[in-house]
Chain A
Amino acid sequence: MISINNVYKFYENNDKKFKALDDINLEIKENEIFGVIGLSGAGKSTLIRTINRLEEPTKGHININGENILNFNKKELRGLRKNIGMIFQSFNLLNSKTVFENIAFPLRLQKLDKEYIEKRVNELLDLVNLKDKKNTYPSQLSGGQKQRVAIARALANNPNILLCDEATSSLDPKTTKKILTLLKDIQKKLDLTIVLITHEMEVIKEICNRVAIMENGKIIELDTVTEVFTNPKTETSKSFINKSNKDLNYIKLSNLEKRKVYKLKFIGEVSKEPVISEIIKKFNIYVNILSGNIDELMSNSVGTLIVEFLGDEDDINKAKNWIKDKNIRLELIKN
């Protein structure tokens, strides 16, 4: 649905060329929630802004539904933007207008008739559960409520694409969860394609189907969230994942070289089976559980266990093979 090919963005600063986007290639499918994660300055914000051309790429192609949007003239571009909703980290509501008028704003821009606007805004207020705040001004709302107004406003024109620019980064964890749940719901209800950028792995975990990891203007890893979580390939993705399950970092082990400490990763159904008890019974070894964690991803759950095997070398190897057959990932922890 959205395909981004060989997109570059350069900034020139005191004759120094700075590459904000460096050969970006992306294919975003219809009805998926696609996440882009990276530290600040990685280029993710520039990337999401090229999709509705708030930021003009220096070169490359961006196709939405088969049309090259970089060839659009001003009028076509305005038409495109009406089909792409966008929400922001700082909500960006009009302070001089009530909640109702904020949501009605994109509709009034198109000079639609009053009755329709009234009806549509009420529908949207229902959708984001803010009926009682209809006539209040943004300054009287909490952060979560403001973002809900912004979501309603972004959806007013029935877009098929919703861009979320760090939409939950200024909210507390509880409100973040609520907003993410709302986004998940409306995605299903309205068959939206959502592209979101964030620096929080929690957000990716919670709602994304696929994720791209960005660093220095490049996409360094791109896969399903489950795959990235169970088998991160780059240091950056590993650090993002470790940040989201902190407890694994806190265990410090001595004499690691001489011990057999493994990280086991269970994906999907197997994470609910009594694997450890089976190992103990079948292979007659001791299993010492050092740490454990289950990540509930959007499509899957991923269990992580850090265990130490004690016992006869042969038995341990047999157990390891049995584990591999069960489709559980096994990784020796070295330091």
Chain B
Amino acid sequence: MVIFSTFFSVIIGLPLGILVVITEKNGIWEKPKLNWILETIINVSRSFPFIILMILVFPLSRIIVGSTIGTTASIVPLSVAASPFVARIIENSIKEVDKGVIESVISMGAKPIDIILKVLIPEAMPSIVLGITLTMINLVGFSAMAGAIGGGGLGDLAIRYGFYRFQTDIMMSSVILIIIIVQSIQFIGNKLSKAVNKN
């Protein structure tokens, strides 16, 4: 559930984040109107509390996966919720790329698409990897919440058996499992980020 939603939110969020940076004032592909539209979409969709967003996305889930309950169905709201978050994270990572480096590449006659694919993304990679790790961890939390409205997964287990049936041991073990998952995601993310960092 988390892996798939991370995957889809990166697919949507990465181009969105890059577009926001390059269409900005003094960006490499300045488009103020498009930039305003993107900013608004990201901000509005980030303002929704996740639990509300999940319910709002039910029709979309029904169209895409044909159901609103269960693990597969909750991938839709999770991806929708995480995409603007990923976009912001990617935006920040891309903005960290040295302006001088971009200028030097422009001075070689690079096209905007070359700058994005060969400079912005590779140079920001260590930071992007950490950002995606953060997204995954957030998604673990969100997915536990998705469990509350029939999304399945560990959260479902914790709330249904642990909370409603007062089976504290099940609740505790689900929580411990979640902690272990979060820890391992962070550990792997850090390792990966280090591996791609050449500084």
On A, residues with C-beta under 8 Å from B are: 52, 54, 77-82, 84, 86, 88, 90, 92-97, 105-106, 108-109, 137-139, 150, 153, 157, 163
Contact = CB atoms under 8 A, between A and B. Distances in A.
A84 B122 CA distance: 25
A52 B107 contact: yes
B100 A88 contact: yes
B109 A137 contact: no
Interface in B89-129: 98, 100-101, 103-111, 114, 118-119, 122-123, 125
A116 B81 CA distance: 48
14 contacts: A78-B110, A82-B108, A86-B104, A92-B100, A92-B101, A94-B101, A95-B101, A95-B123, A96-B122, A97-B198, A106-B108, A108-B118, A109-B108, A139-B198
Interface of B: 98, 100-101, 103-111, 114, 118-119, 122-123, 125, 196, 198-199
B98 to A, nearest CB: 7
Given A88-B100, A90-B100, A95 B198 contact: yes
A328 B196 CA distance: 63
A90 B107 CA distance: 15
B31 to A, nearest CB: 15
B198 A96 contact: yes
A139 B111 contact: no
Given A96-B125, A97-B122, A81 B107 contact: yes
Contacts of B198: 95-97, 137-139
Closest 9 CB pairs of A and B: A92-B104, A81-B109, A78-B109, A137-B198, A86-B107, A92-B100, A106-B108, A96-B122, A82-B109
Given A96-B123, A97-B198, 9 more contacts: A80-B109, A81-B106, A84-B107, A86-B107, A88-B104, A94-B101, A106-B109, A139-B199, A153-B108
Contact of B114 (A80, A81, A109, A157): A109
Given A105-B118, A109-B114, A95 B199 contact: yes
Contacts of A52: 107
Contact of B103 (A54, A94, A106, A108): A54
B109 A109 contact: yes
A37 B114 CA distance: 34
Nearest to B108: A106
Contacts of B105: 94, 105
Find the residue from B104, B114, B118 having the highest chain A CB count within 10 A.
Answer: B104
Nearest to B126: A96
Contacts of A106: 108-109
B17 to A, nearest CB: 18
A138 to B, nearest CB: 8
A80 B107 CA distance: 9
Contacts of B119: 94
Contacts of A79: 109
Contact of A92 (B98, B109, B118): B98
Contacts of B106: 54, 81
Contacts of A93: 101
Given A94-B123, A137-B198, A139-B198, A105 B108 contact: yes
Contacts of A54: 103, 106-107
Contacts of B111: 78, 109
Contacts of B101: 92-95
Nearest to A87: B104
Contacts of A163: 107
Contacts of B104: 86, 88, 92, 150
Contacts of A157: 108
Nearest to B119: A94
